[in-house]
Amino acid sequence: MLPAASAFEIRELSVSYSGVPALSDISLDIPERGVSAIIGPSGSGKSTLLRTLNRMNDLVEGVRIEGRVAFRGRDLYGPDVDPTQIRRQIGMVFQKPNVFPRSIYDNVAYGPRLHHQPGNLDEIVREALVRSGLWEEVKHDLKQHAMTLSGGQQQRLVIARCIAVAPAAILMDEPTSSLDPLATVRVEELISELAADYTIVLVTHNLRQASRIADWTAFLAAERSASGVLHGRLAEVGPTSQLFTAPVDQRTKRFIAESMD
Amino acid sequence: MDEQVVRTGIALVLLLAAALGAMTLGGLSYRGEMLVAALRALVQLILVALVIAWIFTHPQWAFVYLAVMLGAAAYTANRRIGGDSHDRLGVLLAILMGASATVVIVALTGALSFSAQTLLPFSAQMIGGAMTTASLAGLRLRDDVKDQFPIFEGYVALGATYRQAGREFAHRAAEKSLFPTLDQTKSAGLVTLPGAFVGMLLGGAAPVLAVQIQLLVLIGLLLVQSITALLTTRLISPIDANFSVAQISGPS
């Protein structure tokens, strides 16, 4: 079963770092809206795959990307593509909350200021904080330094910062891996709410999280190449419920059985 | 041969021999390096003295000398930073702007007479100071970005160019690169006697004149380094050239 409308189209994608393969021959569609999870063991290139979707891999020394990655029909690696425009359109939330050493307000306002976004800046900041569920907790002191927030609040601030530039998609690289269980629940709830309006691609090592909040799930298997290096290959993709209850691929079956124990 | 030259030569040989002797007695290594360093200094300084003496009699060549020095300073600073050819152009501009702003003020006010004898050594010293600042500021910028890469990445992920993402880092790197000069300026005369001052006293100048020249050098360096630090951190790329070149190719 294929998703109705694809946000991302990935075709024959291979990625290597300084000649060492990280991903081989991935072809995958990621649907518009909703949460799509990428799961797999370490070394399967989950983060690498995520970072090819908004060209954050450009920052990695010696990266080589072959194949095609398109967002809404547009080749992200085409010759006339400006990576900064791609990253504005496709936001990213990282494993550890990387708030800027500024006030809460200035964290959220950074993107709109950078892009000279039209509209009232106070209003943009407020709305982003409301959407990320942080407004009630911080509205009395937006000038407060962002580093004074708790880990969970910081991660929701990073999500607010991302929403403030009105992206079409948000990539999340294990966004709750550094959070406590309560903060994790709040961020998961937030992701589910945002999924109504945004295409969210979530890399997670937490299979229960994928089963809780993802509509679609892709499983990357780690293969060992002739030279002994682990690299990722797509084993299976489908609706999350199907992938978890009736996986077709043996590697998926084994991984789910081992991880859910 | 000039008697003074002979006496200087004898003193140099004795000084070096004593240094080598002290190292041998104490069992320190690097005696070979010390000898080579001393010989290099000897040859280089004699050559420079000959070139400068020639320029003093052919002042129209002073600009060529300064241009060569400027190029060498930009090349050296950029190599220390690990920059590419674009960065080198930025470093060159930063050194040029810093040094020339200072020299222009000193020359226009008449604080130094408009002659090769005064402006050449002064300019050379300013270029040298600018080179040190450019290296320090550039290295500091790249180290800071590497140390706090997740924050840099956060800016980039919001659609900032590498330069925009590096702006805050640039600001702090420029500030920090000024610390050594500020310390040197604050301690001048107390902890150490600065080079120009000592040189002029040894050359027989009156202390009052020596102090004037030393102040021009010290305060001049403050201007050189402010401008050079600001421009270097804004003109070079905040990350290594190697970083940013993703090699992209179409479907095979």
Cβ atoms of B135 and B129 within 8 Å: the answer is no
Quick one: chain A helix, strand, coil %, rounded to 5? 40, 30, 35
Residue B22's Cβ-side half-sphere holds a number of Cα atoms within 13 Å equal to: 7
Instruction: Write down the pLDDT at residue A42.
Output: 85
> Global pTM?
0.84
Tokens of A63: 């990266």
pLDDT tens digits along A182-201: 889 989 999 999 999 999 99
Q: Is A11–B252 a contact, with Cβ atoms under 8 angstroms apart?
A: no
pLDDT at B144 over 90: yes
Where is A170: in which H helix or E strand? strand A169-173
Which backbone phi and psi does A179 adopt, to 5 degrees? -105, 155
Instruction: Write down the pLDDT at residue A224.
Output: 86
Q: How many A-B residue pairs are in contact by the CB < 8 A criterion?
A: 87
pLDDT tens digits along A231-248: 888 888 989 999 888 888
> B161: which chain A residues are within 8 Å (Cβ-Cβ)?
84
Mean pLDDT for the stretch of residues B101-106: 96
In Å, how far is B87's CA from the nearest CA of chain A?
18
pLDDT at B130 over 70: yes
Instruction: Write down the pLDDT at residue A4.
Output: 59
Q: Is A66–B160 a contact, with Cβ atoms under 8 angstroms apart?
A: no
Cβ atoms of A71 and A167 within 8 Å: the answer is no
In chain B, pLDDT over 70 holds for what percent of residues? 95
Mean pLDDT for the stretch of residues B121-126: 93
Q: What mean pLDDT value characterizes chain B? A: 89
Least CB–CB distance from B249: residue in A56, A66, A165: A66
Instruction: Write down the pLDDT at residue B241.
Output: 58
ipTM confidence? 0.92
Instruction: Write down the pLDDT at residue B195.
Output: 82
Cβ atoms of A96 and A178 within 8 Å: the answer is yes
pLDDT at B251 over 70: no
Least CB–CB distance from B158: residue in A55, A62, A165: A165
User: pLDDT tens string for chain A (261 positions)?
Assistant: 444 578 999 999 999 988 888 999 999 999 999 999 999 988 899 999 999 999 998 888 788 999 999 999 999 998 899 999 999 999 999 999 999 999 999 999 999 999 999 999 999 999 999 999 899 999 999 999 999 999 999 999 999 999 999 999 999 999 998 888 988 998 999 999 999 999 999 999 888 999 999 999 999 988 888 888 888 888 889 899 998 888 888 888 888 888 876
Q: Is B158–A87 a contact, with Cβ atoms under 8 angstroms apart?
A: yes
Instruction: Write down the pLDDT at residue A1.
Output: 45
Mean pLDDT for the stretch of residues B101-109: 95
pLDDT at B249 over 50: no
If pLDDT is split at 50, 70 and 90, which confidence band does B160 have?
Answer: very high
Cβ atoms of A103 and A143 within 8 Å: the answer is yes
If pLDDT is split at 50, 70 and 90, which confidence band does B248 have?
Answer: very low
> B250: which chain A residues are within 8 Å (Cβ-Cβ)?
66, 68, 77
Q: What angle do CA B226, B229, B233 make, to 5 degrees?
A: 145
Cβ atoms of B239 and A61 within 8 Å: the answer is no
